[in-house]
Amino acid sequence: MPFRSMIADKIAPLVGMEANAVVSLMEIPPDPAMGDYALPCFAFAKTMRKNPMMIAQSIAEAPQADCVTGVEAVKGYVNFTVDKQLYAKTVLNAVQAQGDKYGAEDVGHGRTVCIDYSSINIAKPFHIGHLSSTAIGHALYNLYNFMGYRSVGINHLGDWGTQFGKLLAAYELWGNGMDIEQAGVEGMLKLYVKFHAEAEADDSLNDLGRQWFRRIEDNDPEAMDLFVRFKDTTIKEVMHVYDMLGITFDSYAGESFYNDKMEPVIEELREKGLLTESNGAQVVDLEPYGMPPCLVLKSDGATLYATRDMAAAFYRKHTYDFAKCLYVVAYQQNLHFRQWFKTVELMGHDWAADLEHVAFGMVSLADGGTLSTRKGNVVRLEDVLLSAVERARMILDEKSPNIENKDEVARKVGIGAVVFGVLYNARIKDIAFSYDRVLSFEGETAPYVQYTYARTNSLLQKAADVMNETPDFSALENEFAFAVLRSIARFPETLKAAMEKNEPYLIARNVVELAQAYNRFYYEVRILDDDKAASAARVGLSAAANTVLHTGLTLLGVAAPERM
């Protein structure tokens, strides 16, 4: 909206600052009674050598922009109230003109962002612990595309390591010729759990597991045949879950893809004198930076996660020339990313500053248990999604028994509820997974927003005859309409903040706030009446809310049913 700039143009000469700098300081008051925009004057105190309250008073007494109808100095702030009709007209015209691109910017024009997310493990279930990475990463993928970047979604498959040797050893010992494709990940998990249970009593099994993994590393035909079958079967199963979520990736290059790409990185570390020996291992000393050493090679010459992650980063920079490379991984890996990011920086690559760990909280079980694949203690994501869909179907049977395409709507509502439940809070917060909480259809949830969107669709169908009338924007000069306008007007800056902070929850909060405001407006204001011009303004507001709700849900990866 142009109002900040219009106000700032008048204020800038008074405070000796560029108008853009004044705009960056302006806020939207939490209480509409305080005005539409607020300017804190504390930043001016040092240069102007005045008390912020005095500065605020002098600004309030100066001539204001034409759009301003009221101004007040309060405790070092200047609160501005703008012309309500002009505000309504400006907001609604902007949404109508930009349509489903309302809020989009071209800030990423010509630049690429790589987003490493979900990253499931081969031969292990796609469980609820993967949901945060998957939902956050997908929302960021959508958001960066919307803001002009070219997003590259990367599923960095966990398809390497001694755990696969252990799985093959378990298959040799107890598989009894098991049909891998028929048994699926469930069968693999049982073997994996049995191996760890038996290895606690017989450590020689771990040696057998290492021997099998060495055979994989050496491309032994028998080992590779089993390994590829385990991998293909897992991917086939998890693709079904991704289809349910509506997610596709641009790359499935996993850890094994970088086997032949690590040596150049290791050699560069040697050439630049960054590798030192520690108990036979090769490390990068990070003590001057307050971190333990970054382990690059084990004493037996084996590579580690850091080695592979660096090789992957170099490959991505060479392949995509990214402006940003995001890693949507739980905060437990904070140190890991700090270590190898710093190592890439010490190698002299300035693009190390473009690597970012997008950390999120851990998922535990509501009863206090922890998720553990080794113990078989997992909550499968597919089960959660299917349960949510079933619950949604039951609610639709009760509330909308005659709705068309009920199964499709139930699918959108149920899956949307699970995804939105993860995205509604700041990503760093831990989640205690509970079926009741995730599947709740009350309060600040996706179904509530989806229902509001469907409500606006229904209204717009009924109001087709007034859509072409010239709107009387004075009909929107009430607290209920203006609350909707404020939420719509905030949407573009919300998207920008969500991208800058990599926080999709800001979008989720915005659309919930808009849904709540619109429902209050819907119940308190008669939208359609004999006054065609007033009706046109109120319908225009409904159409704008419809557009923003749809865009917000879509960016979050949540479907928006036309009817509910």
CA nearest neighbour of 471 among 533, 541, 427: 533
Q: What pTM value is reported for the model?
A: 0.92
Q: Quick check: is 66 in a domain?
A: yes
Q: Quick check: is 254 in a domain?
A: yes
| Residue 276 sits in the same domain as residue 246 | no
Instruction: Give the pLDDT band of residue 372 (cuts 50, 70, 90).
Output: low
Q: What is the spatial distance between Cα 206 and Cα 169, in angstroms, rounded to a whole number?
A: 9
Q: What is the spatial distance between Cα 439 and Cα 504, in angstroms, rounded to a whole number?
A: 20
Share of the chain above pLDDT 90, in %: 82
Instruction: Give the pLDDT band of residue 166 (cuts 50, 70, 90).
Output: very high
- pLDDT the model gives residue 363: 73
Q: Quick check: is 194 in a domain?
A: yes
Report, as an integer, the average pLDDT of 288-304: 92
**pLDDT for 376 beyond 60:** no
Burial of 461 (0-12, 13-18, 19+ CB in 10 A): exposed
Instruction: Give the pLDDT band of residue 124 (cuts 50, 70, 90).
Output: confident
Q: Assess contact for 131 and 422: CB atoms under 8 A.
A: yes
Strands 77-82 and 37-40: antiparallel
CA nearest neighbour of 95 among 181, 185, 1, 28: 1
Q: What is the spatial distance between Cα 560 and Cα 406, in angstroms, rounded to a whole number?
A: 14
| Residue 297 sits in the same domain as residue 319 | no
Q: What is the spatial distance between Cα 4 and Cα 80, in angstroms, rounded to a whole number?
A: 10
Q: What is the spatial distance between Cα 27 and Cα 256, in angstroms, rounded to a whole number?
A: 49
Q: Quick check: is 223 in a domain?
A: yes
**Residue 118 CA: distances (Å) to CA of 127, 160, 215, 425, 455:** 11, 16, 28, 18, 34
Which residues pair with residue 364 across a beta bridge?
A: 370, 432
Chain centre distance of CA 87 = 31
Which residues are CB-neighbours of 156 under 8 A, at least 6 positions away? 116, 119, 253, 254, 255, 312
| Residue 152 sits in the same domain as residue 241 | yes
Q: Assess contact for 59 and 48: CB atoms under 8 A.
A: no
Instruction: Give the pLDDT band of residue 375 (cuts 50, 70, 90).
Output: low
Please provide the average confidence, as pLDDT, over all residues in the chain. 93
pLDDT, tens digit (0-9, with 9 covering 90-100), for 227-251: 999 999 999 999 999 999 999 999 9
Q: SS in 3 state form for 425-462?
A: CCCCCCEEECHHHHCCCCCCCHHHHHHHHHHHHHHHHH
- pLDDT the model gives residue 439: 62
Buried residues in 130-142 as b, exposed as e (16+ CB within 10 A): bbbbbbbbbbbbb
- pLDDT the model gives residue 362: 83
CATH value at residue 32: 3.30.1360.70
Q: Quick check: is 33 in a domain?
A: yes
| Residue 296 sits in the same domain as residue 317 | no
Amino acid (one-letter) located at 495: L
CATH value at residue 139: 3.40.50.620
- pLDDT the model gives residue 536: 97
Highest mean pLDDT, choosing among 168-182, 227-241, 537-551: 537-551
| Residue 194 sits in the same domain as residue 124 | yes
Which residues are CB-neighbours of 531 under 8 A, at least 6 positions away? 472, 475
| Residue 132 sits in the same domain as residue 246 | yes
From 275, 302, 329, the end of a domain falls on: 302
Q: Can you read off the two tokens belonging to residue 437?
A: 């909480």
Which residues are CB-neighbours of 335 under 8 A, at least 6 positions away? 291, 292
Q: Quick check: is 450 in a domain?
A: no
| Residue 299 DSSP class | T
φ/ψ region of 75 (left if φ > 0, alpha if ψ in -120 to 50, else beta) reads left
| Residue 127 sits in the same domain as residue 195 | yes
Share of the chain above pLDDT 70, in %: 96
Q: Quick check: is 42 in a domain?
A: yes
From 365, 388, 406, the end of a domain falls on: 365
Q: Can you read off the two tokens belonging to residue 298?
A: 């084990």
| Residue 112 DSSP class | E
| Residue 55 sits in the same domain as residue 162 | no
| Residue 174 sits in the same domain as residue 230 | yes
Instruction: Give the pLDDT band of residue 378 (cuts 50, 70, 90).
Output: confident
- pLDDT the model gives residue 310: 98
Amino acid (one-letter) located at 381: L
| Residue 288 sits in the same domain as residue 359 | no
CA nearest neighbour of 76 among 111, 106, 48: 48
Q: What is the spatial distance between Cα 205 and Cα 211, in angstroms, rounded to a whole number?
A: 10
Which residues pair with residue 484 across a beta bridge?
A: none
Q: How many CB atoms lie within 10 A of CB 182?
A: 8
Report, as an integer, the average pLDDT of 20-28: 93
**Phi, psi dihedral angles at 363 (to 5 degrees):** -110, 125
Q: Quick check: is 289 in a domain?
A: yes
Report, as an integer, the average pLDDT of 517-544: 97
Query: What is the number of structural domains in the chain?
Result: 3
Alpha helices, DSSP H, located in 321-445 = 334-346, 381-399, 406-423, 435-438
| Residue 137 sits in the same domain as residue 218 | yes
Query: Rg of the Cα trace of the chain?
Result: 28
Q: Assess contact for 115 and 151: CB atoms under 8 A.
A: yes
Q: Assess contact for 365 and 371: CB atoms under 8 A.
A: yes
pLDDT, tens digit (0-9, with 9 covering 90-100), for 430-476: 877 676 676 666 788 999 999 999 999 999 999 989 988 999 999 99
**pLDDT for 18 beyond 90:** yes
Q: What is the spatial distance between Cα 264 and Cα 260, in angstroms, rounded to a whole number?
A: 9
| Residue 268 sits in the same domain as residue 253 | no
**Lowest pLDDT segment from 22-36, 473-487, 517-531:** 22-36
Q: What is the spatial distance between Cα 358 and Cα 345, in angstroms, rounded to a whole number?
A: 18
Q: Assess contact for 15 and 62: CB atoms under 8 A.
A: no
Instruction: Give the pLDDT band of residue 278 (cuts 50, 70, 90).
Output: very high
Report, as an integer, the average pLDDT of 109-119: 97
**pLDDT for 485 beyond 80:** yes
Range of the domain at 152: 112-259+306-365
- pLDDT the model gives residue 377: 59
Q: What is the spatial distance between Cα 234 and Cα 250, in angstroms, rounded to a whole number?
A: 18
> Could you give the 3-state DSSP secondary structure of residue 66?
coil
**pLDDT for 424 beyond 60:** yes
